[in-house]
Chains A and B, each alone.
Chain A
Amino acid sequence: MATADTLAPTTRRPNSRIVEWATTTDHKKIGVLYLVSSVAFFFVAGAMALLMRAELAVSGQQVLDDSTYNQLFTMHGTVMMFFFVVPFAIGLANYFVPLHIGAADVVFPRLNALTYWLYVLGAATVFAGFLTSDGAAAFGWTAYPPLSRETYSPGLGGDLWIVGLASSGIGTTLGAVNLIATIFGMRAPGMTMFRMPIFCWNILVTSALLLFAFPVLTAALAALFVDRNFGGHFFAPGSGGSAILWQHLFWFLGHPEVYIAILPFFGVVTEIIPVFSGKPLFGYRGFVLATLLIGSYSFSVWAHHMFTTGAVSNPFFAATSMLIAVPTGIKFFNWIGTMWGGRLRFRTPMLFCMGFMLMFLIGGITGIFLASPPIDFAAHDTYYVVGHMHYVLFGGSVFAVFASIYYWFPKLSGRMMSEGLGKVHFWLMLAGMNLTFFPMHQLGLRGMQRRIPDYAPSTGFGDLNLLSTIGSGVLALSLLVFAANMWRSLRRGAPAGDDPWKGYTLEWATGSPPPPHNFHRLPPVRSERPVFDERVRAAAPRESSDG
């Protein structure tokens, strides 16, 4: 994606390109670095998932031994949550928040570069576990002590996991500060809060969640590190510590983290659906209110992960966890209301938004089931939860990730992606996703617990597991189609022009890719759709365009 500077004179030393990217403080380049790194991690963690699905296809262990399997699901979860979904969202925010609000860069460009490199350093540290003699961390991405203490997980991989997560977590916290300050301090004249693109609102709320949630994780990680290396007893029940304490701290991060992983993507689809419906968002202020409600509720739901511990007030956390579904549900009506009466163009980004809505709907509904403590007593720690979470994070976040890529690739590269390949990608991914993850609900209800590399033939789990593994193959195929599309479009994609989709927001008012300082001129901002307004003005008869 280095086409941003192909127009620059090429008289520099051959390695200058690398030095330039390594030392850049340009928010767009840092955004691209985030996006490319996180998608690379998505492919790596996806390959891990394929290995696990291969192992589970039939009863008996054919592909992986127990230890490797445990490392793989630990790393799959860790990488997807901390090194893919959230950094991808931060990458989009880096690239588009300044463009959306009409700014030339973020407030703290050098801090911005630091956050990216802390993230890469953290990810590399976590991955380094694979090079140690005991392998990578193998206690699950949730790292429940006492299992994650040195007695039961003595390897160096666990320590690298802690240090790596802390490093990238600190980066994420600093990034959140930067984004919040940028949104509050760098908006162009006329860009009031209620004229900001919804994407920026969602990034603002996400950043607030990051700011409150990640320091708690960092503290918990520090305590776990002390326990493991310096004889601490924070999480040692035999010595006055508590095994449950970690779960509180972890999920106090972990559940806001789920909203951190979805709110930016609510923002993405809320940018795309209006553009391809030819209408403004239905109920802008209600939508913002719903996002703020989700943000504030999200800190009161954490212990619904702990219903079966017998250590929390189940009714309280059931009530909050069900309440949070309401503002989430409202958003569906905003989206449908936007489409209602519109002129819907089903280009690839819009198709992925449709997929997002359908799949996230299922994930949201099963979420209500799990918020009910008695149902959770049955479904907790089974494949039902695995199915639910993948409808939310794969059906939700990942579909929106691809919607955003198809939507903004022309802006980043100046070239269009292939619609044909894009549609093949979409339909394969929709089919693969449902084949892979839908059977998991039934498997969970029948009693297949999470995090197992094998099951006995007598359990009868074989057929649905085989179906799920076949589905994962279809998913892999769909991603190959995506990769081919990317490869082809970077080289031979049709020129995009400034505004290929008839967009609404300010990024479409500048070049593709935008110049280093973002805008040669800014259109006046008088609504949440300045570029739409300008298009209308340009089309109107001269006398009415007095401006």
Chain B
Amino acid sequence: MLRPRRTLPTPLLLGVAAGCLLPACAPDAVDVQGGAVGELYTTFLLVAAGVFATVVGLLAWSVIRYRDRPGREEPRQHHGNVKLEAVWFVIPQALVVGLFLLSLSTLEEVDRAPAAADLGVRVQGFQWGWRFSYDGTGVEVTGTPERPPVLVLPVGRNVTFELISNDVIHSFYVPRFLVKRDTIPGKVNELRVTVEEPGTYRGACAEFCGLLHARMDFTVRAVEPDRFETWLDEQEVS
């Protein structure tokens, strides 16, 4: 019963669908942990797109099909259908259980302790700046809004950040890491990051911490391990 006609090729349709999702996509992570988060995000996005399309499709169909037009007869006074309701209770329930299990496994991946922490960096957030101290060395980098600090990290190494604060709550946030954690007075937090891509990345404070919260910027410079060692030695000398 289908008239022969040119149909849109499936890849094109998929391309258009992907294009619609583009404004909702997360940027690529530059670290291992963030990579896992990014994958999880993409999975969520695809499920979300399916749910959104289904609900909007049903809505659009009812709006078009059942809108009031001259000659439409009085609708049947239908009060419900328990079977149908049971079905639409079970489907979302199954969906969220699935998403929850996926989240658990990613969470485990993000928080998992590496076999050996190659480098420890103590990060102190303060009003309004950051202090980065490299474990086992005397190297300490401090910065303020006028002179934002640079956090130099080796790529491919497991870095454990020990996050502390002595004044108010801040949050250690490098957007391209796709993970962040708060620095909380009276508590020591940990965040594990293994940077994969060398480069320069923006860092900021994510938890509102008072007047100059917006200016607590820092920069992450991820370099090859040998260049990192050289940099560390230079710092220790000076």
A344 touches B66 (CB 8 A): yes
A309 touches B212 (CB 8 A): no
Chain A residues near B (Cβ < 8 Å):
66-67, 70, 138-140, 144, 146-147, 152-153, 237-238, 242-244, 277-286, 308-311, 314-315, 318-319, 322-323, 325-326, 329-330, 332-333, 336-337, 339-346, 354, 357-358, 361-362, 365-366, 368-369, 372-375, 377-378, 380-382, 438-439, 441-442, 445-447, 449-456, 458-459
- Closest-CB distance, A345 to chain B (whole angstroms): 5
Which label, helix, strand, loop or mixed, suits the secondary structure of the A interface? Answer: helix
- Closest-CB distance, B135 to chain A (whole angstroms): 19
Q: With the chains together, A243 CA to B168 CA distance in Å? A: 9
Does chain A have a CB within 8 A of B226? no
A280 touches B79 (CB 8 A): yes
B92 touches A381 (CB 8 A): no
One digit per residue, 1 when the CB lies within 8 angstroms of any chain A CB and 0 when it does not, for chain B 21-35 equals: 001111100000010
Q: With the chains together, A156 CA to B4 CA distance in Å? A: 76
Does chain A have a CB within 8 A of B190? yes
* Chain B hits for A361, CB < 8 A: 52, 55-56
Interface residues of B in 55-83 (CB under 8 A from A): 55-56, 58-59, 62-63, 66-68, 72, 74-82
Q: What are 23 residue pairs bridging A and B, where the CB atoms are less than 8 Å apart in the complex?
A: A70-B210, A152-B210, A237-B185, A243-B184, A280-B78, A286-B85, A308-B171, A311-B184, A314-B107, A315-B107, A318-B100, A318-B103, A322-B100, A343-B68, A344-B63, A374-B107, A375-B40, A378-B34, A439-B23, A441-B23, A450-B206, A450-B208, A456-B217
Q: With the chains together, A70 CA to B208 CA distance in Å? A: 9
Choose the segment among B12-20, B175-183, B230-238 that binds chain A (4+ C-beta atoms closer than 8 Å).
B175-183
Known contacts A308-B171, A322-B99; A362 and B127 CB within 8 A of each other = no
Q: With the chains together, A138 CA to B209 CA distance in Å? A: 10
B184 touches A244 (CB 8 A): yes
Residue among A325, A374, A451 making CB contact with B110, cutoff 8 Å = A374
* Chain A hits for B8, CB < 8 A: none
- Closest-CB distance, A215 to chain B (whole angstroms): 25
B103 touches A358 (CB 8 A): no
* Chain B hits for A244, CB < 8 A: 184, 187
A332 touches B55 (CB 8 A): yes
* Chain A hits for B169, CB < 8 A: 144, 146-147, 243
A344 touches B67 (CB 8 A): yes
Does chain A have a CB within 8 A of B167? yes
A345 touches B68 (CB 8 A): yes
* Chain A hits for B184, CB < 8 A: 237, 243-244, 309-311
Known contacts A311-B184, A315-B107, A454-B214; A381 and B207 CB within 8 A of each other = yes
Does chain A have a CB within 8 A of B227? no
B185 touches A343 (CB 8 A): no
* Chain B hits for A362, CB < 8 A: 52
A237 touches B186 (CB 8 A): yes
* Chain B hits for A309, CB < 8 A: 182, 184, 187, 189
B180 touches A381 (CB 8 A): yes
Chain B residues near A (Cβ < 8 Å):
23-27, 34, 36-37, 40-41, 44, 48, 51-52, 55-56, 58-59, 62-63, 66-68, 72, 74-82, 84-85, 88-89, 92-93, 96-97, 99-100, 102-104, 106-107, 110, 127, 167-169, 171, 173, 175-176, 178-182, 184-187, 189-190, 202, 204-215, 217
Residue among B48, B104, B110, B217 making CB contact with A365, cutoff 8 Å = B48
* Chain B hits for A66, CB < 8 A: 211-212, 214
Given A242-B186, A279-B77, A375-B44, 15 more A-B residue pairs with CB atoms under 8 Å apart are: A147-B168, A153-B210, A237-B184, A237-B185, A283-B85, A322-B100, A337-B80, A344-B67, A345-B68, A373-B103, A374-B179, A378-B37, A445-B25, A445-B26, A449-B206
* Chain B hits for A373, CB < 8 A: 103, 107
A381 touches B173 (CB 8 A): yes
* Chain B hits for A318, CB < 8 A: 100, 103-104, 107
Residue among B76, B88, B107 making CB contact with A330, cutoff 8 Å = B88
B81 touches A283 (CB 8 A): yes
Q: With the chains together, A362 CA to B53 CA distance in Å? A: 11
Beta-carbon nearest neighbor of A318 in chain B: B103
A447 touches B175 (CB 8 A): yes
B75 touches A342 (CB 8 A): yes
Beta-carbon nearest neighbor of A347 in chain B: B68
B79 touches A284 (CB 8 A): yes
Beta-carbon nearest neighbor of A306 in chain B: B182
- Closest-CB distance, A310 to chain B (whole angstroms): 4
A365 touches B51 (CB 8 A): yes
B103 touches A343 (CB 8 A): no
Beta-carbon nearest neighbor of B91 in chain A: A329
A342 touches B206 (CB 8 A): no
* Chain B hits for A284, CB < 8 A: 79-80
Residue among A139, A238, A346 making CB contact with B67, cutoff 8 Å = A346
- Closest-CB distance, B238 to chain A (whole angstroms): 28
Beta-carbon nearest neighbor of A458 in chain B: B202
Q: With the chains together, A138 CA to B180 CA distance in Å? A: 24
* Chain B hits for A283, CB < 8 A: 79-81, 85
Q: With the chains together, A238 CA to B171 CA distance in Å? A: 19
B85 touches A374 (CB 8 A): no
A330 touches B66 (CB 8 A): no
Beta-carbon nearest neighbor of A378 in chain B: B178
A354 touches B63 (CB 8 A): yes
Q: With the chains together, A378 CA to B232 CA distance in Å? A: 29
* Chain B hits for A374, CB < 8 A: 36-37, 40, 103, 106-107, 110, 179
B204 touches A449 (CB 8 A): yes
- Closest-CB distance, B73 to chain A (whole angstroms): 8
* Chain A hits for B77, CB < 8 A: 279-280
Known contacts A242-B186, A344-B66, A375-B41; A147 and B210 CB within 8 A of each other = yes
A382 touches B75 (CB 8 A): no
Q: With the chains together, A378 CA to B89 CA distance in Å? A: 30
B40 touches A377 (CB 8 A): no
* Chain B hits for A70, CB < 8 A: 208, 210-211, 213
Q: With the chains together, A374 CA to B107 CA distance in Å? A: 6
B168 touches A310 (CB 8 A): no
* Chain A hits for B189, CB < 8 A: 309-310
B68 touches A336 (CB 8 A): no
- Closest-CB distance, B83 to chain A (whole angstroms): 11
Q: With the chains together, A315 CA to B97 CA distance in Å? A: 12
Known contacts A318-B100, A374-B40; A279 and B75 CB within 8 A of each other = yes
Residue among B59, B85, B167, B179 making CB contact with A152, cutoff 8 Å = B167
Q: With the chains together, A152 CA to B209 CA distance in Å? A: 9
Known contacts A374-B110, A375-B37, A455-B214; A237 and B80 CB within 8 A of each other = no
